[in-house]
Chains A and B, each alone.
Chain A
Amino acid sequence: MKRKFLQKVGVAVISGAMIMSILAGCGNNSAKESTTAAQASSEGTSGESKDDTAKGPDYSGVKLVYWSNWEATEPQGIVIAEAIKAYEKETGVEIEVEFKGRKGIKEGLIPALDAKQQVDFFDGQGNKSNYGDRIISLEDLVKESDYESRSNPTMMNLFRSYNEGVLKEIPYQFKANAYLYNKKLFKEAGIDKVPANWDEFLAVCQKLKDAGITPITTDDAYVPQAFGMHLGRLVGSQGLKETINNNEWDRPEVLQTANDLAELASKGYFSELVASNVFPTGQNTEFATGKVAMYAVGTYVVNEVKNITGPDFEWGFFGYPEVNNGINGTEAMMIGGQSFAITSVCKNKEAAFGFIEKMTRGEYDEKLAKESISLPADSQNPSWPEQLADVKPYFDNCTEIMGGAESNPEITPALKENLIKLYSGKITGAEFVENMKKAAGK
C-alpha cells in the first residue's frame, strides 16, 4: 500500500515538475526582457537627477510601462528615448519603454491588455477606435492642463471623431497628403507658381513634359491617394466615404474623376513605369532620384527617402488643386497623424499624460519634427522642418478633413488595380467605372 502511495506521489511530482519547467521556460523570457528594459532606462538616469533644477511634479516611485510603435533605431524612437530620460530626471518617474514596432502594436497590444499585462500608455497609428474601453477618455486631463490651447483644432476634431466625440487619443507626428514636388525640376521647366486649380495643374504638367521631365509617378500602394483627393473635391468628405463604402461607382463624379485622371495618362504625364511600380520603387527610384517631378502622397515620404535624396533635394508641396465643378478647395485636406493613448489599467494617468505632453509640446515636439522630418503637434512651435515649410499655410488653413479612398478594404485591391490601369492608359474612364461596378458585384 505504502509503496503504491509513494509511487503515485512520485508520478505526480515528476509530471508536475516537467510541466512547470516547460511553462516556466515560456514565462521567464518576457519577465527577463522587461527587467532589462527597466534597468536600461534607470541606468540612464541614476546619479544625474540630484543636481537637476528644472523639476516637474514629483512622481518618484511611480513606474510606467510604455509600448511604442516605433523601432528604437528610427529617428522617432531615438527622440522618444531622449524625452523619457529627461522626463524621468524631472519627475522621478520610471518609464519602461518597449519599442514594439508597428506590427507589435497592431497584433500584440490588445491580446497583451486582455491578458492583464501591464501597459500604461502607448502610441501608434491614429484611430484607436477598436480599443474600446481598453483606453480611457483624456478630456479631464486635457482640460486640467489647458493642453488644447496649443493644439490644431481641426486635428483635435478629427481625433475626437474616431471615438464618438470623446478625446481618447492625443495626436502627434502629423502628416498631410497632397502633391509633393521637386522644386529644382519645376524651376528647370520655368514654373514659378504652384497650380491652384485643375487647369493650372494640367498646364504645369505640360510645361514639365515640354522640358523633357516626367511630371508624375506613383506606386501601387499609394495609387488611391490622388483619386481619393480628386473625388473628394467633387463630392466632399462625407460623399467620398459614402461612395467608397457603399460602392456607389455609378455616381457621375466618379466618372468625372476617372476621366480627369485618364486625361493625365493620355497626355503622357505619368511615368511609363507607373504600371509596374511596386512600393517603394516609384518613390525611391523615380521621385527621390529626381527623375520625376511630382508624387501624390503623404509628407512622411520626405523622411523615408532622405538617404536617397540627400540634403540638396528641394522639397515642395501644394494642396490638391481645385477641380472643375468641385464643392471644396484646399481648405479640405487629407491630414492625420499618429497618436498616444492611455490604457484603462494605467497606474498613474497624470504621470503618463505628463510624458505625452512632454513629447507633443515645446522642445521634444520640435526635436521630433526636426529629426523625423514631420509636422509638429504644438501650434506654437515656430520652427517647421524646412523641407516641409510649404505645408504650413495649407495645414493652418485646413478646416475640413477628407478621408482617403481606402476606407473599404474589400474593394481597395480592385480600386488599386483599375487605377493603375487607368494611369497607364490601358483603360478609359468609362471602363474604370464598369470594372469597379463589376468588382463590387453590382
Chain B
Amino acid sequence: MKRNKSMIWAFTIPGTILFLGVFIYPIIRTVIMSFFKIVEITDPINKWEFRGLGNYVDLFNAPLFIQSLINIAKIWTIGGIVTLSISLLIAIILTSGIRGKGFFQAAIYLPNVISAVAMATMWIQYAFNSSYGFFTTFFRMIGLESLAKIQWLDAEHKFYALLFSYCFGMIGHHMLIWISGIERISKEYYEASGIDGANKVQQFFHITLPLLRGILRTNIIMWSISIAGFFIWSQLFSPLTADTSTVVPMVYMYTKVFGAETADMISRDAGAGAAIGIILCALVIIIFRVANRVLKDDDLEF
C-alpha cells in the first residue's frame, strides 16, 4: 500500500506542536528561569536578573532546604523498602490461590481511591489524636498505658506518623503492579521446580524474584516519581506553615514561589522555585538511570 506521507504529516503535526508547546517549552523555560532572580512566575523577561548558579548555591546553603532533602530521602528509602516489600508480600499471598482474592485486592487498593485530604484528616484526627484517636483508645483498652501515652504527632513521632499513613495508602497501588508481574510468570516453572523438590520459599527466591526484576524497576521508578511530588500529605500534617520534621522540597518550593502565610513579609522567588524543580527532576532522572543500569532484565526471556 502506498503511504500518503502528507496525511501522516497532517495527523502528527498538531500533536507534535502541542507536545513542544505544552511540555518541552515549559521545561526549557524552567531550566532558564532557574539561573535568574525572578519574583513572580509571570514576570516579563526584562525584569529577570541573571545570577548564574546563585539560586542553586543559596538553596544548598539553606538549612531548611537541606532538611527537606533529608526528609524526602528518608521517605524514599525507609518508605520505599517498607511499601515495596509489604506490597510484594501481599501480592504473593493474593496470587497463591487464596479465596476472596478479588475482595482483598479491592480492600487494599481502596485508600488509593479516597482523596489524600480525606485520608490524612482521618489519620490525624481519628488515628493519631492523643485524646480520642484510635491508637490512644486501643492501647488504653488493652492496658498498655505507656503506649497509650505516646503523642504520635509531637516533634519526635510526627515524621514516622506521616510516613506510616502515607505508606499505608501506597501499598495497594504497588501491590497491583506486583500482581500483574507475578501473573505473567508461567505456572510451568513452578510445576517443574515442584517436581524437582523445590519448596515455596525456594521457588520465590529462585523463580519469582528473578523474573520480577523488571517489575521491581517499574515499582522503584513509580515510587520515586510519587515521592518527588510529595506535597499534600506534608501540608496536611503541618498546616499553614511547614514543620522541620515534615518539610519536603515541594512544600519548600511552594513557600518560595507563593510566599509564606504571613502578612509581615511577602517574599516570592520564582527563580529559586524553578531551581528546586530542576533539582527534583535531576534526582528522578538519576534514580531512573541507576535503576535501569542495576536492574537489567533483558537477559531473561520468559
Chain A residues packing against B (C-beta within 8 Å): 7-8, 10-11, 14-15, 18-19, 22, 106-107, 110-111, 114-115, 125-130, 220-221, 241, 245, 273, 275-281, 285, 336, 403-404, 406-414, 416-417, 420-421, 424, 439-441
| In contact, A439 and B264 (Cβ under 8 angstroms) | no
How far apart are A410's CB and chain B's nearest CB, in angstroms? 5
With A106-B259, A275-B155 already in contact, the answer to whether A403 and B63 are too (CB < 8 A) is no
Q: Specify which chain B residues have a CB less than 8 angstroms from the CB of A416 in the assembled complex.
A: 241, 243-244
| In contact, B260 and A111 (Cβ under 8 angstroms) | no
| In contact, A413 and B243 (Cβ under 8 angstroms) | yes
In the complex, what distance in Å separates the CA atom of A416 from the CA atom of B260? 14
- 4 A-B pairs besides A18-B14, A221-B239, A279-B240 with CB distance below 8 A are A276-B153, A409-B241, A409-B255, A412-B260
List 15 A-B pairs, Cβ < 8 Å: A10-B6, A10-B10, A19-B17, A19-B18, A110-B41, A111-B42, A126-B263, A130-B259, A130-B266, A245-B265, A279-B239, A279-B240, A406-B262, A409-B260, A413-B242
Contact residue among A15, A126, A275 (Cβ-Cβ distance under 8 Å from B13): A15
In the complex, what distance in Å separates the CA atom of A410 from the CA atom of B58? 12
In this complex, the member of B158, B244, B263 whose beta carbon has the largest number of chain A beta carbons within 10 angstroms is: B263
| In contact, A241 and B264 (Cβ under 8 angstroms) | yes
| In contact, B260 and A406 (Cβ under 8 angstroms) | yes
How far apart are B146's CB and chain A's nearest CB, in angstroms? 15
With A19-B17, A22-B18, A410-B64 already in contact, the answer to whether A273 and B130 are too (CB < 8 A) is yes
Q: B129 at interface (Cβ–Cβ under 8 A)?
A: yes
In the complex, what distance in Å separates the CA atom of A22 from the CA atom of B21? 13
In the complex, what distance in Å separates the CA atom of A278 from the CA atom of B129? 9
CB 8 Å contact bits of B213-247 with A (1 = contact, 0 = none):
00000000000000000000000011111111101
With A111-B42, A130-B259 already in contact, the answer to whether A404 and B266 are too (CB < 8 A) is no
| In contact, A14 and B40 (Cβ under 8 angstroms) | no
| In contact, B11 and A14 (Cβ under 8 angstroms) | yes
Contact residue among B11, B152, B239, B265 (Cβ-Cβ distance under 8 Å from A276): B152
Q: B112 at interface (Cβ–Cβ under 8 A)?
A: no
How far apart are A104's CB and chain B's nearest CB, in angstroms? 12
Q: Specify which chain B residues have a CB less than 8 angstroms from the CB of A439 in the assembled complex.
A: 63, 244
B128-183 with Cβ < 8 A to chain A: 128-132, 151-155, 157-158
Report the nearest B residue to A22, measured CB to CB.
B18
B32-57 with Cβ < 8 A to chain A: 39-44
With A19-B14, A221-B241 already in contact, the answer to whether A125 and B151 are too (CB < 8 A) is no
In the complex, what distance in Å separates the CA atom of A273 from the CA atom of B244? 19
| In contact, A22 and B240 (Cβ under 8 angstroms) | no
With A406-B262, A413-B64 already in contact, the answer to whether A276 and B240 are too (CB < 8 A) is no
Q: B7 at interface (Cβ–Cβ under 8 A)?
A: yes
Question: What secondary structure prevails in chain A residues at the interface with B?
Answer: helix
Contact residue among A130, A273, A279, A412 (Cβ-Cβ distance under 8 Å from B242): A412
With A130-B268, A278-B124 already in contact, the answer to whether A110 and B40 are too (CB < 8 A) is yes
Q: Specify which chain B residues have a CB less than 8 angstroms from the CB of A275 in the assembled complex.
A: 151, 154-155
| In contact, A417 and B245 (Cβ under 8 angstroms) | yes
| In contact, A129 and B130 (Cβ under 8 angstroms) | no
How far apart are A129's CB and chain B's nearest CB, in angstroms? 5
In this complex, the member of B39, B63, B124, B237 whose beta carbon has the largest number of chain A beta carbons within 10 angstroms is: B63
| In contact, B266 and A417 (Cβ under 8 angstroms) | no
How far apart are B218's CB and chain A's nearest CB, in angstroms? 31
| In contact, B266 and A11 (Cβ under 8 angstroms) | no
Q: Specify which chain A residues have a CB less than 8 angstroms from the CB of B41 in the assembled complex.
A: 110-111
In the complex, what distance in Å separates the CA atom of A268 from the CA atom of B260? 32
Q: B302 at interface (Cβ–Cβ under 8 A)?
A: no
How far apart are A254's CB and chain B's nearest CB, in angstroms? 18
Q: B288 at interface (Cβ–Cβ under 8 A)?
A: no
| In contact, A276 and B264 (Cβ under 8 angstroms) | no
Chain B residues packing against A (C-beta within 8 Å): 6-7, 9-11, 13-14, 17-18, 39-44, 62-64, 67, 124-125, 128-132, 151-155, 157-158, 237-245, 247, 255, 258-268
In the complex, what distance in Å separates the CA atom of A111 from the CA atom of B40? 8
With A8-B6, A126-B263 already in contact, the answer to whether A420 and B40 are too (CB < 8 A) is no
In the complex, what distance in Å separates the CA atom of A19 from the CA atom of B158? 49
Q: Specify which chain B residues have a CB less than 8 angstroms from the CB of A420 in the assembled complex.
A: 154-155
Report the nearest A residue to B151, measured CB to CB.
A276
| In contact, A281 and B129 (Cβ under 8 angstroms) | yes
With A278-B237, A409-B267 already in contact, the answer to whether A273 and B151 are too (CB < 8 A) is yes
In the complex, what distance in Å separates the CA atom of A416 from the CA atom of B261? 14
Q: Specify which chain B residues have a CB less than 8 angstroms from the CB of A413 in the assembled complex.
A: 64, 67, 238, 241-244, 247
| In contact, B266 and A127 (Cβ under 8 angstroms) | yes
Q: Specify which chain A residues have a CB less than 8 angstroms from the CB of B262 in the assembled complex.
A: 404, 406-407, 409
In the complex, what distance in Å separates the CA atom of A115 from the CA atom of B40? 13
Q: Specify which chain B residues have a CB less than 8 angstroms from the CB of A245 in the assembled complex.
A: 265
How far apart are B203's CB and chain A's nearest CB, in angstroms? 46
Report the nearest A residue to B153, measured CB to CB.
A276
| In contact, A130 and B154 (Cβ under 8 angstroms) | no
| In contact, B11 and A107 (Cβ under 8 angstroms) | no
Report the nearest B residue to A405, measured CB to CB.
B264
Q: Specify which chain A residues have a CB less than 8 angstroms from the CB of B155 in the assembled complex.
A: 275, 417, 420-421
Report the nearest B residue to A404, measured CB to CB.
B264
| In contact, B40 and A114 (Cβ under 8 angstroms) | yes
With A114-B43, A220-B238, A278-B238 already in contact, the answer to whether A414 and B244 are too (CB < 8 A) is yes
How far apart are A160's CB and chain B's nearest CB, in angstroms? 14
With A107-B258, A404-B262, A406-B260 already in contact, the answer to whether A276 and B154 are too (CB < 8 A) is yes
How far apart are B44's CB and chain A's nearest CB, in angstroms? 8
In the complex, what distance in Å separates the CA atom of A280 from the CA atom of B11? 54
Report the nearest B residue to A4, measured CB to CB.
B6
With A19-B17, A413-B64, A440-B63 already in contact, the answer to whether A221 and B154 are too (CB < 8 A) is no
In the complex, what distance in Å separates the CA atom of A245 from the CA atom of B13? 53
Q: Specify which chain A residues have a CB less than 8 angstroms from the CB of B131 in the assembled complex.
A: 273, 285
In the complex, what distance in Å separates the CA atom of A332 from the CA atom of B155? 32
Q: Specify which chain B residues have a CB less than 8 angstroms from the CB of A407 in the assembled complex.
A: 262, 264-265
Report the nearest A residue to B7, measured CB to CB.
A11
Report the nearest A residue to B240, measured CB to CB.
A221
